[in-house]
Structure 1
């Protein structure tokens, strides 16, 4: 044969088969051919080449005659199994093909790492960007502070809040929620729990925290956080992912936000009348009733009206809104608006130096307190919903919706309340007041992700149990598992005319 003994750099790796099969391999070939005749024509003027031929499984190997193509020093199938190799070149050919496999494996590992990295970024991008915006606020506080370069009190705080509630109005599927209106017992439980039980219980906890000498502004922030309503987006998404009653969650989220505009300010007014909070009381030097009316008016203008405008537009042009929702990524835009709002709040806090009064001990207590509040109240309402009382116990799907709607708190409405209460005064503490709300939002997302996994398994066990009972009652015969077909594989040998 006219093949010289040479190192791996002289080998020409050639593909014979379909392009689709070649793409699956992910290997770079010197040349590619769809049939043996094209390959044979290629070898006419390659008498001094050492060709390594890799053959697709769709090629009939009986048609390959090595006497016609003496340049072939080895033949491999697409599984990297050697079908033929010159004995004089066995070692360098094996080394060369092994190197190709190693490079392929390394590339696959890198791709898997990249895919894993993208998955992590996609899942935790909100948390990553949250850290980034806080860092930017620390480095350039004058840009986004109240009264700063961009007048964030109008362009960001007011603009983002209106945008958030407008997008919520466009996104909420009102017509699909009508079937959930009759579940009065579920809605009453969620709203009383979210807007009354949690605020009053947390208020009692806040009075205990005062005895621990925790920063008073953080304690007021915890009270405002607990008095806020449930969130619209995250609880419905987590309920859906956990296989719960998505529409019940969505309806209670909308209902909670509408009621929260009126109930939450009243609760905060009531709690902050306590002389313990004199230094941060919103009724100082003014009539409390007048302040409440101003706050309600602000909430109606910035939250309620934009929401209903979005709902009207959705009802008039539902198809166009759905198309826009997909093209403009409403969910991501909502998250970015929230992050922009947080950035402006932190810019003001860093510019006024309000975080300097917070000690590391206070921050640690706040993180643990927020996490404890979420875990305790989400567990408690799940226990209440599953009490084995006749005509009371909720289904597993409804319980998931109740759990998420009852314990989650909306970052948007929380910051809106802080701006409504302290927008024209005490700007130096608005960042501190927002901190409990921001930390609670992050923790409810993180802990909620774990709860989704556990609750989904709980729902699946319930479905499997119900299915098993039904099968036992109906007594459906199972198919014989021995009725399996055995797939035979055929091994084809390459003809070697040199033997």
Structure 2
């Protein structure tokens, strides 16, 4: 044997047994043999080698047949218990295997660390993408700005929005929504709260904000945000994760987007009549001021038309579309398109130095306002849905759907509406107006994730309580039936006597 006594790096490890065992991959053992015959054939060409054999628990045979080979200096089981070792090699083999195990632990910790990072990225990829989009907009504003290299006023603000609603149309499984169509009370509550109560409530709050020194464009951006319909995907995902009625959320996402196309512009025109928002009105061309039909045409082309085309395609080739939806990750593609819109909006804002027209404290206040609005809207609708009134109180699952649908707002529709209101010359306004909506969208994802955990626990506790009650009821019923049988037996015995 050519190996020196203290040369602990000149060994070769081979595996004997089932090659699918975990230890093989963990220690990166290259030479694997299913039986001893294969190993013996291998040893013939390894006369000058020093080999350590690791035996799998899946194989059993007499190790004496291996000891005969001078190349084998040690034999261990898979738990690294020494079964045989040449006396002069004990120290070297021990050091070598310890080093191998340390390497295994290090590799495992690295893999675990990377796995955790990837898990976080997968879970919060949209929020991470949001920061990257803003950063790219700051670093390269001339690329994504309105009138920039890629002509984002067409490619992004129309192309991406059309793409988002087309994907939404493709993804809608309308056949599964038939059972929810007649849940009229739920639909009315969500749509009235989302498209009427919320806009006027936030408008009242905005009137108070107008008395402060806060940027008026941002204030009106908050009003636009509140006037939007619910999202078509985020609310469904959140509802599903919280164990709520996802089909109710899905149906209201569709209905909300259709109704919002007509109601949101009307609300914006109504609120814009306030003289305090003259700066916004002056930026709209005279022929387009309060031109409701003009805005509806633009919104119909970017929202309703692609939505319906996507749905028709889905109905015609349902199985193929479902297959493509799962393979191509429509939901993630939707999110990426939304991030491109955010990038374009911020590129325009940074290019026109729109943020220099606002004070730094305005951004901080805006984040607080959006947070307050979302939490307020969520709690308020939650209380309304659970009012202990006969024939009114909604179930837990329906309440979750109501809460997410009524409090969430769609970014794509908001950007589309702003594009319909203002032409490409009004970049000083279009750079700031979507900001409250973008911040609100990020917040509704962050806070919504926390709400999912709380609401899921609520549903689980309710289920466990119901299960326990049912179990107790069955136990009582069983005891009652046993008592009846006993009484019946005693009665029969008495009669027989």
**TM-score relative to the length of structure 1:** 0.90
SS in 2 for 1:20: coil
Structure 1 residues 311, 43: CA separation in 2 closer, same or farther (over 3 Å shift)? closer
In the alignment, what sits opposite 1:212?
212
Contact 2:354-2:431 at 8 Å conserved across structures: yes
Q: Distance in 1 between matches of 2:345 and 2:201?
A: 27
Contact 2:288-2:294 at 8 Å conserved across structures: no
Shift of 1:261: 0.7
**TM-score relative to the length of structure 2:** 0.90
In the alignment, what sits opposite 2:133?
133
In the alignment, what sits opposite 1:348?
348
Shift of 1:344: 1.9
Contact 2:269-2:290 at 8 Å conserved across structures: no
Q: Distance in 1 between matches of 2:452 and 2:147?
A: 42
Contact 2:228-2:414 at 8 Å conserved across structures: yes
In terms of mean alpha carbon deviation, does 140-149 or 199-208 score higher?
Answer: 140-149
Contact 2:153-2:424 at 8 Å conserved across structures: no
Unaligned runs of 5+ in 1: 479-499
1:422 paired to 2:445: no
Contact 2:249-2:402 at 8 Å conserved across structures: yes
Shift of 1:398: 0.7
Structure 1 residues 31, 297: CA separation in 2 closer, same or farther (over 3 Å shift)? closer
Structure 1 residues 229, 30: CA separation in 2 closer, same or farther (over 3 Å shift)? closer
Shift of 1:144: 2.4
Unaligned runs of 5+ in 2: 479-497
In the alignment, what sits opposite 1:453?
453
Q: CA RMSD in A?
A: 2.4
1:334 paired to 2:324: no
In the alignment, what sits opposite 1:34?
34
Q: Distance in 1 between matches of 2:46 and 2:301?
A: 81
> Within 5 Å, which residues of 2 pair with 1:87-236?
87-236=87-236
Q: Distance in 2 between matches of 1:2 and 1:425?
A: 82
In terms of mean alpha carbon deviation, does 406-415 or 15-24 score higher?
Answer: 15-24
Shift of 1:461: 1.1
Contact 2:215-2:362 at 8 Å conserved across structures: yes
In terms of mean alpha carbon deviation, does 350-359 or 217-226 score higher?
Answer: 350-359
In the alignment, what sits opposite 2:401?
401
In the alignment, what sits opposite 1:486?
none
SS in 2 for 1:10: coil
In the alignment, what sits opposite 2:243?
243
Q: Distance in 2 between matches of 1:100 and 1:140?
A: 48
Residues 342-386 of structure 1: per-residue CA shift (max 9 Å, x gap): 222222222222111121100000011111111111121112111
Contact 1:3-1:73 at 8 Å conserved across structures: no
Q: Distance in 2 between matches of 1:289 and 1:430?
A: 16
Residues 287-319 of structure 1: per-residue CA shift (max 9 Å, x gap): 788512211121112211221111112112212
Residues 153-196 of structure 1: per-residue CA shift (max 9 Å, x gap): 12221111211111111111111111101111111111111111
Structure 1 residues 84, 476: CA separation in 2 closer, same or farther (over 3 Å shift)? farther
Figure out how many residues of one structure are paired with residues of the other and give that number: 478
